[in-house]
Structure 1
Amino acid sequence: MTHQISVCYGTPDDPATFDEYYRATHIPLAAKVPGLSGFVWGKCVSLDGSAPAHYAVAYLQFATEEDLKTALASPEMRDAGRDVRNFATGGVTMYTQNLESATR
């Protein structure tokens, strides 16, 4: 089972500034989190053309629950968490998930 942290970003005051900061500063910072086995993100687009609930969502994946717990307690995660206030002007929601395959 994969364990992940999902980070949902609200629409920022200045999307171009968010994108630049996220790519140049936040991703390299978050990539240092110990035990990280995958890290992807993307901007959201609603299927029906309406405004999506989130501007972007990032997924930080860990192979085991122990890796997730170690990451959450690490100084690298604290640094990345503190950095969020530097660019996430639209707010942010974070949660963990234990992923299960829905297909065979």
Structure 2
Amino acid sequence: MYRLVATYNHPEDPAVFLDHYRNVHAKLALDQKGLRNFEWGVCSTADGSTPPHFLVAVCDWDNKEAMLEDMASPEGQKGAADLENFAQAGVSFDFYEITKGI
């Protein structure tokens, strides 16, 4: 499995960000044909302090080639273009082959 982790910085208006993420961006992510898993959550901390990131999303594909194919597809391009509509505070991406166990 190949994974993309997107970490979003704290937006100016969290409610507007979440509404767009939930009702637009997440649906665009789910349109990708090779996507095997998609999950996301709003970050918190054990002590109630402000976490380093606002939201983290995880997307999994069978392999890197499948991820690259989805990202180049019209559906993937729509998702990438949508970032400018809600992620003005910034987003970082990490990509890696999943290794389980030792």
How many angstroms does 1:71 deviate by?
1.4
Show the 5 A alignment for 1:1-104: 2-102=1-101
Q: Which moved more, 1:70-79 or 1:80-89?
A: 70-79
TM-score when normalising by structure 2: 0.90
Report the AA paired with residue 67 of structure 1.
A
Contact conserved, 1:37 with 1:62, CA < 8 A, in 2? yes
Runs of 4+ in 1 over 6 A off after TM superposition: none
TM-score when normalising by structure 1: 0.88
Residues matched between the structures, number: 102
Structure 1 residue runs of 5 or longer lacking an equivalent are none
Identity of aligned residues (%): 34
Structure 2 residue runs of 5 or longer lacking an equivalent are none
CA RMSD of aligned residues (A): 1.4
Per-residue CA deviations over 1:12-61 (Å, capped at 9, x if unaligned) read 01000111111111111111112000000001112343321110000111
- Mapped partners of 1:49, 1:6: distance in 2: 23
